Chains A and B, each alone.
Chain A
Amino acid sequence: MIRSHVLLCGGTGCTSSGSGKIQAALEAELKAKGLEEEVKIVVTGCFGLCAVGPIMIVYPEGTFYSMVQESDVAEIVEEHLLKGRPVERLIYAEHHDAIEEKVTSLADTTFYKKQKRVALRNCGYINPEVIDEYIAMDGYQALGKVLTEMTPDDVIKCILDSGLRGRGGGGFPTGRKWMFAQAQPQGKKYVVCNADEGDPGAFMDRSILEGDPHAVLEAMAIAGYAIGADEGYIYVRAEYPIAIHRLEVAIAQAREYGLLGKDIFGTGFNFDIQLRFGAGAFVCGEETALLTSIEGNRGEPRPRPPFPAVKGLFGKPTIINNVETYANITQIILNGPEWFASMGTEKSKGTKVFALGGKITNTGLVEIPMGTTLREVVEEIGGGIPNGKKFKAAQTGGPSGGCIPESLYDTPIDYDSLIAIGSMMGSGGLIVMDEDTCMVDIARFFLDFTVDESCGKCTPCRVGTRRLLEILDKIIAGNGTLEDIDKLEELCYYIKSASLCGLGQTAPNPVLSTLKYFRHEYEAHVVDKKCPAGVCKDLLSYIVIEDKCKGCTACARVCPVGAISGAVKQPHVIDTAKCIKCGACIEKCKFNAIVKQ
């Protein structure tokens, strides 16, 4: 008899922080105590609170343990699983105004309370490598319903009525896309899933694939039925080994159960799915480049029209949707389009998954109803900014998006509101920045990325982004002028209008939005030759405050280039010409005698 379930997170975050070792230790310990028949280990996908991983939840109590170490396993087994006494010190605690509060159950955390889990419904609840667990959560019911009770037109109408828009960044209505592909003459058609997730710092799609792969497979089969396709491809990044493994397992199990392959549910409908691996080119997330890459070529975008719905993979009509878009489909079919449309705002229905990162307490994965404000996401769900620092900006949309300043903290998160303030929804990366982040440096960071990732096919993007980067470098080095700022802006508009694909058309956004909201920081770099956030090295110098220095020599010993001199018990001096600004001396000085300014 199983009397306890131990859910252990096997997402990439927790795997990196050691959940594999915990699993092994747990198995051994349960065996040693003869509990194998009573306690079942369920390795799940990401719970969302990766910041405090590895995470373990013990049911039926629902006890939520965080930052579990291999060495804690024996105690958990002995105390909790054997004697029924939860291990207090490992229970997750929330900090409210410096008061620590233990939160026993995951569902009671502030992190979870404001969330609404649709696309992530199974992540962290089921073992993604066991198809029966998915089926137990109504898995493959939507496919059954579609194949036996609905016509392809019904399916498309249902998706149209739900108001679902693409979650990969563009926000195109999914039902419309399917309708175009369905309207093409019968014959070979394809269903493609975009799992290339190129925005660095975002991991929504990966977590869905790792935590609930069947949800995507089932939705792709539904899409196949709707548009008349019998073959699907998932283009997934090769850098996602766990996601790839779980997809392979899921596809094999679905085939074994007759849920993929020939004559599904005895209805005569055939559909199968293959995997293709991306190889780390951001531009391959762009749909036409992705198709070119599946065909085995350099992933260069092609001009649209023709749109993939008309002429896509191998020249055939193709729909291409994002992972999270697919993850919503089965729920829309089962609960009805009205249910879905009841969540969110007028033009942005449903929920959106975000990967919270940067200077925020609860880094991890959240799913919120569209229209939730940025402030709620950062301050409540995200637990605010750590170390008592102040919020400066949030960045959404990755290298194609923009920064949102504090003055717009109450902006509702939906497609149109974000575009209106010069950012974009993007695929779901949400990076929080505090007062220690330099906005010019961040703009430079993204431009460095796009210069590297530009495929080089068209000149405005290839040459233009490089010019932008050069100007930013000049500003950061303290050699910029006010004219450079104007030139920067002008060039941005040119690149936006003249580039061939979305990469080039959006590449200037990080510069434009920081210029719009943080122009004073640019001006400080060029006029005062100062970096207000204290980041840009060329504009800083390290100096010893004579009065505070005790002459302990600690700094001189740690300096890697011998830039510090001074006799014992005498004030030391830094030779700014030699100093490489590594910061090692500041860390070493116990008397706070070294400052950068």
Chain B
Amino acid sequence: MKKKLTTVMFRGTKAQEEQLIAVIEKYRDTEGAMMPVLQEAQEIYGYLPIEVQKIIAQRMDVSLEEVYGVASFYSQFSLNPKGEVAIAVCLGTACYVKGAGDIIDRISLKLGGLAAGDTSPDGKYSLEATRCIGACGLAPVLTVNGEVYGRLVKEDVDGILDKYM
């Protein structure tokens, strides 16, 4: 799977690192601990930059390659920080058939050509194309910072984005 690497500087805190270490300890005796550790690490930091992967590799006594191999394999793991306004447009089949492609184009246009998978250089906006979020009955759907907007037509885009501008 193709993944973009971030250029945004890492700003992890000591407290976050302590939380992470506690998580690693919690799973010390669990078989197959890598996935739960990465999932909780992402909850702590919001994404999984190389700095965090290094801590995990060191503490779990595995190679960085192994951590990176797992982190880059799964699309849920983000190696990029999300924007303050994190927009995700569902491109699952149900949404796609109902015109989600036009919606993402419209958002991209409105955000100065920001491509799916990117975060704007000032860190304000990120745009993501996701797979089915399970609200297919309301297709097409998008989420902004987790808030779901459904039964969209492309003309709705401006109104929704304006709320966050």
Cβ-defined contact, A239 with B134, below 8 A: yes
Inter-chain CA distance A17–B105, complex, in Å, is 24
In the complex, what's the smallest C-beta–C-beta distance from B22 to chain A, in angstroms?
A: 19
Any A CB within 8 A of the CB of B33: yes
A395 nearest CB neighbor, chain B only: B93
Cβ of B41 < 8 Å from any Cβ of A? no
Contacting residues, chain B, for A16 (C-beta < 8 A): 133, 135, 138, 141, 148, 150
In the complex, the answer to whether B35 meets A280 with C-beta atoms within 8 Å is no
Interface 1/0s, chain A 89-133, versus B by CB < 8 A?
000000000000000000000000000000000000000000000
Query: Given the interface contacts A12-B135, A280-B74, A582-B105, does A358 sit within 8 Å of B93 by beta carbon?
Result: yes
The CA-CA distance from A202 to B136 in the complex, in Å, is 8
User: Does A37 sit within 8 A of B, measured CB to CB?
Assistant: no
Q: Which residues of B contact A299 (CB under 8 A)?
A: 73-74
Known contacts A50-B138, A276-B32, A452-B1; is-contact A587 B155 (Cβ 8 Å) = yes
Pick the contact of A560: B92, B96, B109, B132 (CB < 8 A). Answer: B109
Segment among A74-82, A176-184, A288-296 that sits at the interface with chain B: A288-296
Interface contact A359-B39, CB-CB below 8 Å: no
Please give the number of chain B residues whose Cβ is less than 8 angstroms from any Cβ of chain A in the complex.
Answer: 43
A203 CB to closest chain B CB (Å) equals 5
Question: Once the chains bind, are B138 and A201 in contact (CB under 8 Å)?
Answer: no
Residues of B within 8 A of A201 (CB): 92-95, 97, 132, 136, 139
Fill in one digit per residue for B71-105: 1 if any A CB lies within 8 Å of its CB, else 0: 00111110000000000000111111110001001
A280 touches B148 (CB 8 A): no
Chain A CB count within 10 A is highest, among B33, B109, B131, for B131
* CB nearest to A12 among chain B residues: B134
* B76 touching A357, Cβ below 8 Å: no
Q: Which residues of A from 317 to 364 have beta carbons under 8 Å from B?
A: 355, 357-359, 363-364
A279 to B137 Cα, complex, angstroms: 23
**Is A238 in the interface zone, CB < 8 Å from B?**
yes
**Interface contact B36-A277, CB-CB below 8 Å:** yes
A360 to B138 alpha-carbon distance, docked (Å): 12
B34 proximal to A (CB < 8 A)? yes
In the complex, A31 Cα to B120 Cα: how many Å?
Answer: 47
A200 interface residue (CB < 8 Å to B): yes
A442 to B98, CA, bound (A): 12
Q: What per-residue 1/0 map shows which CB atoms of B102-138 lie under 8 Å from chain A? A: 1001100100000000000000000000011111111
CA distance A202 to B90 in the complex (A): 13
Given contacts A279-B75, A279-B76, A453-B1, contact A364 B137 (CB under 8 A): yes
Task: List, in ascending order, chain A residues with CB within 8 A of B69's CB.
Answer: 298
Chain A residues near B133: list those with CB within 8 A: 12, 16, 239
Contact B131 A17 (CB under 8 A): no
A593 at interface by CB-CB < 8 Å: no
Residue in B closest to A358 when the chains form the complex, CB atoms: B97
**B-facing mask of A50-70, CB < 8 A → 1, else 0?**
110100000000000000000
B138 near A357 (CB under 8 angstroms)?
no
- Chain B 58-76 residues near chain A, CB threshold 8 A: 69-70, 73-76
Contact B109 A582 (CB under 8 A): yes
State the B residues within 8 Å of A (CB): 1-2, 31-36, 38-39, 69-70, 73-77, 91-98, 102, 105-106, 109, 131-139, 141, 148, 150, 154-155
A-to-B contact residues, CB < 8 Å: 12-13, 16-17, 49-51, 53, 199-203, 206, 238-240, 276-281, 293-299, 314, 355, 357-359, 363-365, 395, 398, 429, 431-433, 437, 442, 445-446, 452-453, 455, 560, 580, 582-583, 587
6 contacts between A and B (CB under 8 A): A203-B134, A203-B136, A279-B39, A359-B97, A446-B93, A452-B1
